[in-house]
C-alpha cells in the first residue's frame, strides 16, 4: 500500500533504526556497550511501584479513565510545581496529564498549527519537534544554537527574520543534547518575543532534576501563561520512562484546545500508573540527592572515557543525563567518529547530527549506564 504523502518528509526515528542495528551486532556475539540513549536504568521510587501494584487490584482500575487524567495525578503535579518551581497552577484546569511528553509535542502541534504555519525549532535539538512539524504540514524554521553563545537563542538575529508566519517556538531548557541551562534572561526575553510576535512559546522541560542545582520553569516568569506552555515528564526525574506519563501545563484556554485533540486520540491512561506517579511526585529531597549522587559519579567516569577517546569537553557541569563533547579533530563528521568507536571499541554514542546540522562536530554520551559498565568501556579504549 502506498503510504500517505506526509511520510515522504520524515524518516524512521534514528534510534529506532540504530538500536535494531546494535541488536543485530549483539545477536552476532558482539558485546556492544550502548551509551547512546537516555533511558534511565535506575529503579523508580519503591513506593510508587507499590502503589501502582496495589491500585491494579482496585475494582475500577481496568476501565477507561478520564480524558483529563485522575484528580490525584493533576493535584500531585500541581503540588510538585508549587514545591519545586514556586509556580501556582490550578490542578483542575491548568494541567493536562499526557502519555509522556513526546505525545504532547504532537497534540500541541495538531491543536495549534495549520498547513504552511512556521515553527521555530532549536538546532541542535530534540528531533521530534521537526518531524511532528512536518507531519502536520507546517514548516520547521531552525534557530541556530552555537557554542560561542552558550547554546542560547539569539533574539536579535531572530528579529531580523520574517516572523509573520511563525506560530510556535520550541524551547528546551535545560537543553538536550548540549546540557546547558537557560541563561538568566532567556525566559524573560522569550516571553517578550512571543508576546510581540503572537507566538505560542513552549518549554519542553524533562531534564530539570538531573544534575541541576537550580531547576527552573518557564511558568515561573511573569506573563508566561498568557503566551506559553510547559511540558514536563516523570521519565527522567523518577526513572519512569517506560510508564509513559507526563503533563502539559498552561492556561485553561490553551489546554482546552489540546484536550480537543487528545480526547479524540486516546481513552485515558491506566489508573494504576497515574496513582503510582502521583506518589512519585511527592518524593522528598532524599530522592533528588541520591539521583544527583549517582549521576555525578557516572558523569565523572564518562568524562574519563570521553577524554580517553580524545574528545574535548567545554563544560564539565552539564545538566541532564548526557555528556556532550567535541569529536577529535582527526574525524570529519560526527557520524564517522560514532561509527569508528562502534566498530573499533563496540561503544555506541549518538552522533551530534542526530539532533540537527548544529550538532555536527559533537557526540553525545548517555549517563544511563552503571559505573561498572563505563569502567569496562574505559578499559576497552585503553586496550
Does 72 engage in binding with ligand PLP (CB under 6 A)? no
Scanning the structure block, which residue is given the C-alpha cell 540527592?
289
Does 101 engage in binding with ligand PLP (CB under 6 A)? yes
Stretches 54-62, 100-108, 329-337, 350-358: which one binds ligand PLP (CB under 6 A)? 100-108
Determine the Cα–Cα distance for residues 164 and 52; give it in Å rounded to an integer.
Answer: 47
Stretches 97-105, 110-118, 299-307, 344-352: which one binds ligand PLP (CB under 6 A)? 97-105
Give me the least distance between CB of 196 and ligand PLP, in Å please: 26
Closer residue to ligand PLP, CB minimum distance, 102 or 107: 102
Q: Which three cell numbers stand for residue 251?
A: 492556561
Give me the least distance between CB of 283 and ligand PLP, in Å please: 17
Contact 209, 181 (CB under 8 A): no
Closer residue to ligand PLP, CB minimum distance, 143 or 331: 143
Does 204 engage in binding with ligand PLP (CB under 6 A)? yes
Question: Among residues 226, 221, 170, which one has the least CA distance to residue 198?
Answer: 226
Closer residue to ligand PLP, CB minimum distance, 91 or 241: 241
Give me the least distance between CB of 242 and ligand PLP, in Å please: 9
Residue 46, strand partner residues = none
Does 309 engage in binding with ligand PLP (CB under 6 A)? no
Subset of 25-44 contacting ligand PLP (CB under 6 A): 38
Per-state percent for the chain, helix, strand, coil, to nearest 5: 45, 15, 40
Determine the Cα–Cα distance for residues 187 and 214; give it in Å rounded to an integer.
Answer: 14
Residue 28's Cβ-count burial label (10 Å; 0-12, 13-18, 19+) is: exposed
Subset of 138-177 contacting ligand PLP (CB under 6 A): 172, 176
Q: Which three cell numbers stand for residue 372?
A: 561498572
Give me the least distance between CB of 243 and ligand PLP, in Å please: 9
Angle of helix 334-345 versus helix 371-382 axis, rounded to 10: 90
Output the CA–CA distances (angstroms, integers) from residue 262 to 54, 89, 99, 230, in the order listed.
28, 20, 10, 16
DSSP state of 178: T
Give me the least distance between CB of 172 and ligand PLP, in Å please: 5
Give me the least distance between CB of 382 and ligand PLP, in Å please: 31
Stretches 46-54, 210-218, 233-241, 308-316: which one binds ligand PLP (CB under 6 A)? 233-241
Residue of 36, 100, 153, 179 interacting with ligand PLP (CB under 6 A): 100
Residue 365, strand partner residues = 323
Residue of 80, 85, 112, 126 interacting with ligand PLP (CB under 6 A): 126
Does 77 engage in binding with ligand PLP (CB under 6 A)? no
Determine the Cα–Cα distance for residues 132 and 137; give it in Å rounded to an integer.
Answer: 9
Residue of 36, 97, 206, 272 interacting with ligand PLP (CB under 6 A): 206
Does 186 engage in binding with ligand PLP (CB under 6 A)? no
Residue 363 three-state SS: strand
Residue of 18, 102, 181, 262 interacting with ligand PLP (CB under 6 A): 102
Stretches 73-81, 95-103, 193-201, 292-300: which one binds ligand PLP (CB under 6 A)? 95-103
Residue of 40, 69, 97, 246 interacting with ligand PLP (CB under 6 A): 246
Does 365 engage in binding with ligand PLP (CB under 6 A)? no
Contacts of 155 (CB under 8 A, 6+ apart): 189, 190, 193
Does 241 engage in binding with ligand PLP (CB under 6 A)? yes
Determine the Cα–Cα distance for residues 177 and 356; give it in Å rounded to an integer.
Answer: 10
Residue 64's Cβ-count burial label (10 Å; 0-12, 13-18, 19+) is: exposed
Residue 156's Cβ-count burial label (10 Å; 0-12, 13-18, 19+) is: exposed
The footprint of ligand PLP (CB under 6 A) covers 38, 100-102, 126, 172, 176, 204, 206, 233, 235, 241, 246
Amino acid at each position: 500500500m502506498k503510504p500517505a504523502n506526509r511520510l515522504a518528509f520524515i524518516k524512521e526515528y534514528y534510534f529506532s533504526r540504530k538500536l535494531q542495528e546494535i541488536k543485530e551486532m549483539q545477536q552476532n556475539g558482539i558485546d556492544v556497550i550502548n551509551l547512546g540513549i537516555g533511558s534511565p536504568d535506575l529503579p523508580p521510587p519503591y513506593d510508587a511501584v507499590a502503589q501502582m501494584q496495589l491500585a491494579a487490584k482496585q475494582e475500577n482500575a481496568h476501565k477507561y479513565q478520564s480524558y483529563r487524567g485522575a484528580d490525584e495525578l493533576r493535584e500531585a503535579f500541581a503540588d510538585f510545581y508549587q514545591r519545586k518551581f514556586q509556580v501556582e497552577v490550578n490542578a483542575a484546569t491548568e494541567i493536562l496529564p499526557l502519555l509522556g511528553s513526546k505525545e504532547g509535542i504532537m497534540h500541541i502541534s495538531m491543536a495549534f498549527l495549520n498547513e504552511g504555519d512556521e515553527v521555530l525549532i532549536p538546532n541542535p535539538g530534540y528531533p521530534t519537534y521537526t518531524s511532528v512539524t512536518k507531519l502536520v504540514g507546517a514548516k520547521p524554521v531552525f534557530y541556530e544554537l552555537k557554542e560561542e553563545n552558550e547554546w542560547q537563542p539569539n533574539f536579535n538575529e531572530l528579529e531580523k527574520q520574517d516572523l509573520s508566519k511563525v506560530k510556535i517556538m520550541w524551547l528546551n531548557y535545560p537543553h538536550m543534547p548540549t546540557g546547558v541551562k537557560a541563561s538568566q534572561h532567556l525566559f524573560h526575553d522569550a516571553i517578550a518575543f512571543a508576546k510581540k510576535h503572537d507566538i505560542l512559546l513552549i518549554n519542553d522541560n524533562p531534564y530539570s532534576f538531573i544534575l541541576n542545582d537550580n531547576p527552573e520553569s518557564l511558568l515561573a516568569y511573569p506573563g508566561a501563561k498568557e503566551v506559553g506552555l510547559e511540558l514536563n515528564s516523570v521519565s527522567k526525574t523518577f526513572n519512569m520512562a517506560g510508564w509513559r506519563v507526563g503533563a502539559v501545563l498552561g492556561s485553561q484556554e490553551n489546554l482546552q484546545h489540546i484536550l480537543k485533540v487528545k480526547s479524540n486520540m486516546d481513552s485515558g491512561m491506566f489508573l494504576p500508573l497515574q496513582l503510582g506517579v502521583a506518589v512519585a511526585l511527592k518524593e522528598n529531597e532524599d530522592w533528588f540527592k541520591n539521583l544527583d549522587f549517582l549521576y555525578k559519579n557516572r558523569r565523572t567516569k564518562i568524562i574519563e572515557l570521553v577524554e580517553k577517546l580524545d574528545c574535548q569537553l567545554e563544560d564539565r557541569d552539564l545538566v541532564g543525563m548526557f555528556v556532550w563533547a567535541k569529536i577529535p579533530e582527526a574525524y570529519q563528521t560526527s557520524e564517522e567518529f560514532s561509527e569508528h568507536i562502534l566498530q573499533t571499541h563496540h561503544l555506541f554514542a549518538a552522533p551530534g547530527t542526530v539532533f540537527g546540522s548544529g550538532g555536527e562536530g559533537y557526540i553525545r554520551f548517555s549517563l544511563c549506564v552503571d559505573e561498572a559498565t563505563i569502567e569496562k568501556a574505559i578499559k576497552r579504549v585503553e586496550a
